[in-house]
Amino acid sequence: MVPSFRPPATRPIPGSYGLPVLGPLRDRLDYFWFQGAEEFFRHRAAEHKSTVFRANIPPTFPFFLGVDPRVVAVVDADSFTALFDPALVDKRDVLIGPYSPGVGFTGGTRVGVYLDTEEPDHARTKAFVIDLLRRGARTWAAEFRSAVDDMLATVEADLNKADSAPASASYLLPLQKCIFRFLCKALVGADPAADSLVDRFGLFILDLWLGLQLLPTQKVGAIPQPLEELLLHSFPMPSFAIKPGYDLLYRFVEKHGAGAVSIGEKEHGIDRKDAINNILFVLGFNAFGGFSVFLPFLISEVGKAGRDGLRLRLREEVRRVLGDGGDVGFTAVREMPLARSTVYEVLRMQPPVPLQFGRARRDFVLRSHGAAYEVSKGELLCGYQPLAMRDPAVFDRPDEFVPERFLGNNGEKLLQYVYWSNGPETGEPTIGNKQCAAKEVVVATACMLLAELFRRYDDFECEGTSFTKLEKRQLTTPTPS
């Protein structure tokens, strides 16, 4: 007898948006204050006994600003994949949710990252970025090593002169300087040292530029609650506040990154102004923003007190591969499976871009581990990666940090459920999808940072975003096996 396959009957998506104004306000207060983002999604999934449900996502602006906060939340590994399917979802202007900061922040250009795959300029701008990355690969590792060198020299000096006990030195600013400098050089071919204003203020301009775009969607916690809700979460931030800084960076890229700009113009047929605005967005938002969030997660996770066993094994792996004088680079880190698995595990536990959005192109059936839901054309799906990548149907001990999780054949099979790049880790960014153009280079760069730390130090320890111990290398290299 041939078994018959019957697809599961669809069920209505549970949850409601509540009363106008009050429902969104309640969800917004839960999201920012009473529950926090993770508990917001966890609590609703438990309440509705479903990993697909309706909710309002902040920001919730006054209705006349036309930002509709109603979403279909998806928080399991199965349903999340709908967000990666260009046939199902439209990614037009939904990079950070139903609210889009607007072209005032990007010199008047709708940059590629906000374009849907069906818009012709998407393919053009993505191919341009992929080209910049390919070109940058030649100097990427060397520029990264040199910038890390400066960063660690600063942190070591700060740690030595720390007069507090126990000694500690924050690595945040030195790390941001490192990221800014190496990205400008490797990605744009422009050395910030060529322009003293950019050299001194460039990264702070980017921080402010990013902050103004993202503020309405983030909890800041620096001012009392009612003020934060009224002042920061109730209307879009004005782009004119950052225009002089943006213009400074624009001129810097135009002059010192002329080679990169002309690749956009000549090889991809992108208008000069749009090429520069796209370069600035990828440099500032995707790359600088992404690494500024992710690398601190990585350093502090590996450097946590009590992780000595992991650090010992990483040190042995790094030194075995590098031998006595080897340089950290793309080839070397390919041979460091534990470093790579650790990087994946940090990306799984703390994805730097936790939310993904996509608007249903048509009515379709959304599958979620055996359940099925009807999604209507125009509804906005909102995926929350931190829960999807801790889906107990896929991962053992899902809430535990298990650095060796992705080792071996079985470990590698789990990579299809690692979604940090807006696509499975086994997938490939192309001009036809919306997966992060730098998927490979981000993982390799993170491995290089670990390798550089263990090449230099026998051990290190962190508390939050500060180093509390950096033990200079004294131990000898293990003999290659």
Provide the binding-site residues for ligand HEM, judged by CB under 6 A. 91, 95, 112-113, 126, 129, 133, 187, 282, 286-287, 290-291, 294, 352-353, 356, 420-422, 434, 436-438, 442
Shortest reach from residue 255's CB to ligand HEM, in Å = 20
d(C-alpha 82, C-alpha 98), whole Å: 18
CA 210 to chain centre: 13
C-beta closer to ligand HEM: residue 202 or 352: 352
C-beta closer to ligand HEM: residue 40 or 288: 288
Taking CB positions, which residue lies at the least distance from ligand HEM?
Answer: 290
d(C-alpha 172, C-alpha 178), whole Å: 10
Question: What is the strand order of the sheet 466-472 is part of?
Answer: 169-170, 466-472, 457-463
Q: Among candidates 426, 158, 132, 447, which has minimal Cα distance to 294?
A: 447
Phi, psi of 457 (to 5 degrees): -115, 140
Residue with tokens 């969030």: 293
Shortest reach from residue 311's CB to ligand HEM, in Å = 22
Shortest reach from residue 445's CB to ligand HEM, in Å = 8
Shortest reach from residue 286's CB to ligand HEM, in Å = 4
C-beta closer to ligand HEM: residue 280 or 375: 280
- Residues 433, 84 contacting (CB under 8 angstroms): yes
Query: What one-character DSSP code corresponds to residue 198?
Result: H
C-beta closer to ligand HEM: residue 111 or 462: 111
Shortest reach from residue 327's CB to ligand HEM, in Å = 21
The CA–CA distances, whole Å, from 251 to 196, 254, 409 equal 13, 5, 49
- Interaxial angle between packed helices 439-456 and 290-302, expressed in degrees from 0 to 180 and rounded to the nearest 10: 40
Burial 429-455 (b: 16+ CB within 10 A, else e): bbbebbbbbbbbbbbbbbbbbbbbbbb
C-beta closer to ligand HEM: residue 215 or 443: 443
Shortest reach from residue 481's CB to ligand HEM, in Å = 32
Q: Among candidates 140, 181, 180, which has minimal Cα distance to 447?
A: 140
C-beta closer to ligand HEM: residue 268 or 315: 268
Shortest reach from residue 423's CB to ligand HEM, in Å = 8
C-beta closer to ligand HEM: residue 23 or 352: 352
β-partners of residue 384 are 355
Phi, psi of 317 (to 5 degrees): -65, -50
C-beta closer to ligand HEM: residue 239 or 422: 422
Q: How many CB atoms lie within 10 A of CB 116?
A: 18
Shortest reach from residue 479's CB to ligand HEM, in Å = 35
